[in-house]
Amino acid sequence: MRIKVKFHSLLRLYLGFGEMILELPDRQDITVRELIDELNLRVGKELKNKLLDGDEIKKGTMVLLNGKNILHLKKLDTVVQDGDVVVFFPPGGGG
Amino acid sequence: MKSELSMFQRQIELLGTDCQSKIADTVILVAGIGGLGSVVAESLVRFGVQKIYIVDNGLIDAPDLNRQILYTYKDIGRPKVLVAKERLSSINPSCEIVPMDEKISESFELPNDVDGVADCLDNFADRFTLAELAWNKGIFLVHGGINGFWGQITSIVPNKSPKMKDLFAGVDEERQQVQVIMPTSGIVALLQSLEIVKLICGIEPNLIGKLLLIDLLNYDFDKIEV
C-alpha cells in the first residue's frame, strides 16, 4: 500500500520536508498510531514526541485523513488504507 | 455619487455591476481588528462594502504597529475600534463603520442586519463561540488564523461545510502569543477579504468545504477538501 503523508507549518520546518510517499508493500492497512511509529522510524527524528502526548494526539496538532479530522473517526485507531492522504499540521491561532 | 462610482471603476470592469451592487448591499462584521482584521476591514471598504461592524475591546500597543495597518505611533493607548473607524471612514466616508468595543463571548449578539462574518480573532475559544453564533444565524463566516510564516483560511457555511469546532477539534483553544510578521497577516487577511467577496457574488471556486493552508516560508499553498 502507498500513503501520501503531508506535514505543514512548524512540523515541516522541523522535519525539513513537507511531503512523503510511504510505501508499505506488506500491509493492507495501518492505524494512525502505527503510521506514526513507522514515520518515526523513517524520518530519523523524534517525530513521535512532536505528534503525541502519551497515547493521544498532542493538543494543538491536527491530523486529517482524506480531509477528516481523526478525532471524529477512531482517533489513533483510525485505519489508513492504500491511496489515502494524511495531513499533520498545527493551525495558526493568531490574528 | 459620482466620486463613489469612480472609486470602484477599476474593479467593476473586473467584477461587474451586479457584483458591485451585491458588495454594497452586504453587511459584514469583522471580529478582531488587529493584524488580520485591520487588513480585512480596509480591503472590504475599498471593495465597496457600505456597512461594517468592527468588534474588539483592545487598546493600541507598540507591538501592534509592525502589522496592524490602521494604526500609527500617535494612536498608542487609544481604543482600536475608534481609531479604526476614523481611518476606515477616511477611505470612503459613505461606508458606515460601527465600532463595538467589546469581547466576543457567549453573551455577544450578532446584529440583526449582519450578512457575513470575518473571523480575525486571536484564539480558538472565541472563534468557536463566534462561529456558533454565525452558524445559528445561518450566515457565512470566513476564518483566518496565523502563526509565524504560516496561516490557514476556510469558509464556514451552515449545511455546506463542517462546523468550525468539528474541523478544528483538538486545537489549543487558549490565546497564545504567536510570532508574526506583516506579510503573513496581510496575505492571509487579503485572501479572507477576497473570499468574502467571492461568497457575496457567488464567484467560484471558493473555500466552502476546503481548508487553504498557506506556507510563506516555502511559498506553498495547499487546498484540502474537508
Nearest Cα residue in chain B from A86? B224
Q: How many CB pairs under 8 A join A and B?
A: 97
Residue B2: pLDDT band (50, 70, 90) is: low
Confidence of residue B177 (pLDDT cuts 50, 70, 90): confident
The number of residues making up chain A comes to 95
Q: How large is the average pLDDT for residues B77-91?
A: 98
| Residue B27 confidence class, pLDDT cut points 50, 70, 90 | very high
Partner-chain residue, chosen from B166, B178, B185, that has the shortest CB–CB distance to A93: B178
Residue closest to B130 by CA, chosen among B194, B208, B56:
B56
Give the residue-averaged pLDDT of B147-167. 97
| Backbone angles phi and psi of A52, in degrees to 5 | -115, 150
Which residues in chain B touch residue A64, judged by CB atoms under 8 angstroms apart?
Answer: 224, 226
CATH superfamily, domain A2-89, is Beta-grasp domain (3.10.20.30)
Contact A95 B226 (CB under 8 A): no
Beta-carbon count within 10 A of A38 CB: 16
Closest CA to B220 of A66, A89, A62, A21: A89
User: Any chain B CB within 8 A of the CB of A74?
Assistant: no
* The CATH number of domain B2-225, selected from 3.40.190.10, 3.40.630.30, 2.70.150.10, 3.40.50.720: 3.40.50.720
Q: Is the complex ipTM higher than 0.85?
A: yes
Separation between Cα atoms, residue B107 and residue B55, nearest integer Å? 14
Q: How many Å apart are CA B24 and CA B10, to the nearest integer? A: 16
Measured between CA atoms, the residue of chain A closest to residue B147 is A92
The C-alpha of B166 sits at a distance from chain A's nearest C-alpha, in angstroms, of 8
Mean pLDDT, residues B2-19: 88
Distance CA B80, CA B64 (A): 10
Contact A95, B35 (CB under 8 A): yes
| Radius of gyration for chain A, computed over Cα atoms and rounded to the nearest angstrom | 13
